[in-house]
Copies of this chain bind each other. A is one copy, B any other.
Amino acid sequence: MRIDAALLERQLDELFAIGAEPGGGCYRPLYGSAWAAACDQVEQWMNAAGLATRRDAVGNMWGRIEAHGEPKRPLELLVVCEEEGSRFATNFWGSRAIIGAIGAREADTVTDAEGVTLSRAMRERGFNPENISSAARDDLGAFVELHIEQGAVLETERVPLAVVTTIAGGVHLEIVVTGRPDHAGTTPMDLRHDALAGAAAMIQAVQSIAAALGRPAVATVGKLRVEPGQINVVPDRVTFTVDLRHSDLGGRRALEERIRSLCGTIASERTLGIEIRTLHERPPVPMDGAIREVLERAATETGAVPAALVSGAGHDAQVLAARCAVGMLFVPSIGGRSHCPEEATDPKHLALGTRVLARALEILAY
């Protein structure tokens, strides 16, 4: 199948213009007017390409391909809504609707930053939250997702394409370190129980443990709060989060175990209190072996030698894996940047990824 790289680039640029922000980047909050306009634009392109489109109860858009002769299996293009949870305090909204995993009261209780519930936003955009369960499908055979890497491995290793092996599992921990709030001027260093000095040693340990385990282990301290947070008081309480991920459940558990153990040791050496709480836990999701083989074959036929890569980020494929065989392709992110105005991918990598995806879908469906 021929891919028109120039058309692809032009359409992506047109899509980017809908919801473009003055300072760079693009934001189309779920059920907002930019989101609706983008959906309409994509639907128009899908119709023009001969796809029969329909919207489901939450706003996912499906487009059945009716060209290219009668396939062995029907092929549909899926435009999934609100993977990120960038407007509402939830994520995988669209893909969870497809697997029937939206909670009974979820649409009425989850809100955006202005306090608008999902239900209200749906109604304002013409969707009926009563119908959410109708978005569920149990007839899916396979789901293949083409995505940007959102990291810098492919760019660093100069590889233009990857077949994802596993979407890493992860744990979010919250660690609270407690010490004593002493006067910063009057308390000699050797008499302190400084919660922040202890937390700093723990942050160093988190980083060292993940680095020593090597790829694909990653561990990140992204949030940290110091109390009382006064310039001249030794901190007595520090709360920080650890986001840790690994493609392998055993590897992830080893990572978590070492972090818990070393943080405990550091607290004990410094006579600090420590509490570690699991905020969130998600097992790794391996990609389907048969789909991976098809993706590798499609890549090879297209002239590319794909890398095998673990996805550190979450994707709709991990949700849909509950209902069907899933696979993913990655193309490089320039500078590894993602979730920021600088996010970009070389157009030739976009075209390559699209070619490999199209070939893989041909193999799967015909």
Name A residues whose Cβ lies closer than 8 Å to a Cβ of B: 149-153, 156, 168, 170, 172, 181-191, 194, 196-197, 199-201, 203-204, 207, 210-211, 215-224, 226, 229-235, 241, 243, 245, 279, 311-314, 336-340
**A160 CB to nearest B CB, Å:** 17
Using A204-B197, A207-B197 as known contacts, say yes or no to A186 and B235 having CB atoms under 8 A apart: no
Please state if A183 and B313 are interface contacts (CB–CB under 8 Å).
Answer: yes
Residue of B with least CB distance to A197: B207
Candidates B151, B187, B340; contact of A188 at CB < 8 Å: B151
Candidates B149, B156, B190, B311; contact of A211 at CB < 8 Å: B190
A295 to B230, CA, bound (A): 34
Please state if B211 and A222 are interface contacts (CB–CB under 8 Å).
Answer: no
What B residues does A183 contact at CB under 8 A? 150-151, 312-313, 336, 338-339
Please state if A185 and B218 are interface contacts (CB–CB under 8 Å).
Answer: yes
27 intermolecular pairs with C-beta atoms under 8 Å apart: A149-B186, A150-B186, A151-B185, A151-B186, A168-B185, A181-B340, A183-B312, A184-B312, A185-B311, A189-B211, A191-B336, A194-B207, A196-B203, A199-B200, A200-B200, A200-B204, A220-B233, A221-B235, A222-B226, A222-B230, A222-B231, A222-B234, A223-B229, A223-B230, A224-B229, A231-B279, A232-B243
A314 to B183, CA, bound (A): 11
**A317 CB to nearest B CB, Å:** 14
